[in-house]
Amino acid sequence: MATIRQLEAFIATAEFKNMSEAAKHLYISQPTISQIISELEKEYDTKLFDRNAKELGITPAGSLLLESAREIIAIQENLKQTMKTVNSIRPLRIGATVTVGTNIMGKIVEHMNTAFPDIDIFVTVSNTNHIEHMLLQNQLDIALVEGIINHDALITQPVFTDKLCIICGSEHPFATRKQLHVSDLHNQSFILREKGSGTRDIFEAFMKMQQVPYQVRWESTSTPAILDAVSRNLGLGFVSERCATEKIAAGLLFQCIIPEVDSERFFYLCYNYSHPMTTQMKDFSEYICSLPKTFC
């Protein structure tokens, strides 16, 4: 019978598709990972991965084990959390992507603390890729994300609407123009969120679709840092309108109106389908779904 340690190593290997990366994530050696995979293949008398020069490809048998392994780890993690709360405190680990964490998560948690004082909330704010990874590892119970989640192990539900916009500083030539065309963006300098951000993914997909070349001058995990750099005319920015409203109202930033840009997107509520739906997750989900789509 596979141990929890073996299953965790197997899951990490399946997600990273690389034993060395899985070993780094688990803080163990690569040979240890290799040995664990070999032991599992011997235990179940089947091949779990197809090995090639670039990455590991999971076999059909491996996919079957992966689904069960995630369920077992989720049950084990839920048991651990439950045993920590024998005094009726309900822990809830919420993930939030940066735009969500910057603009609305504080209000949400403030209400939750008042309405559900027995729920002990811990929030992690990071980019979409990292939040997705934490959900898959059952390091989070539930999350609100601004990016698209495509992993079939995660359930997603659109809950809030959001708009993205291109912004410039007051001294940028675009600041005096009422309307722009996509062609005006050719070879412009941009200050963007880091790779793995949902906002960055949307920007890159749009520019690729429009075949617009551009220069990335800054990357930052901090939206306030991006707004500050753009306001100093160091480049254009691509952010949620929620983040830029105050500086636009103050005349420090200007929104570039480009009709071709489809600026609407959703914030998504998501969780791992193999994670047991706890009462605190249910309370959080019902509260989120009761809010208006334009909540801010």
88 falls in which pLDDT band (50, 70, 90)? Answer: low
Task: Say if CB 240 and CB 145 are below 8 A apart.
Answer: no
Give phi and psi for 123, each to the nearest 5: -115, 135
86 falls in which pLDDT band (50, 70, 90)? Answer: low
Please give the model's pTM, rounded to 2 decimal places: 0.68
19 vs 15: CA distance, rounded Å: 10
Q: What is the pLDDT of residues 207-253, one digit of tens each?
A: 999 999 999 999 999 999 999 999 999 999 999 999 999 999 999 99
Q: Give the pLDDT score at 97.
A: 93
> Bridge-partner residues for 145, per DSSP?
268
136 vs 274: CA distance, rounded Å: 9
51 falls in which pLDDT band (50, 70, 90)? Answer: confident
- Count of CA atoms in the C-beta half-sphere (13 A) of 133: 15
Is pLDDT above 80 for 78? no
> Does residue 1 or residue 272 have the better pLDDT?
272
Q: Give the SS3 label for residue 158.
A: strand
229 vs 193: CA distance, rounded Å: 12
Q: What is the pLDDT of residues 55-75, one digit of tens each?
A: 888 999 999 999 989 988 888
Task: Say if CB 140 and CB 258 are below 8 A apart.
Answer: no
87 falls in which pLDDT band (50, 70, 90)? Answer: low
Q: What is the pLDDT of residues 199-208, one digit of tens each?
A: 999 999 999 9
Give phi and psi for 293, each to the nearest 5: -60, -25
Domains of the chain and CATH, by start? 4-67 (1.10.10.10), 83-160+266-290 (3.40.190.10), 162-265 (3.40.190.290)
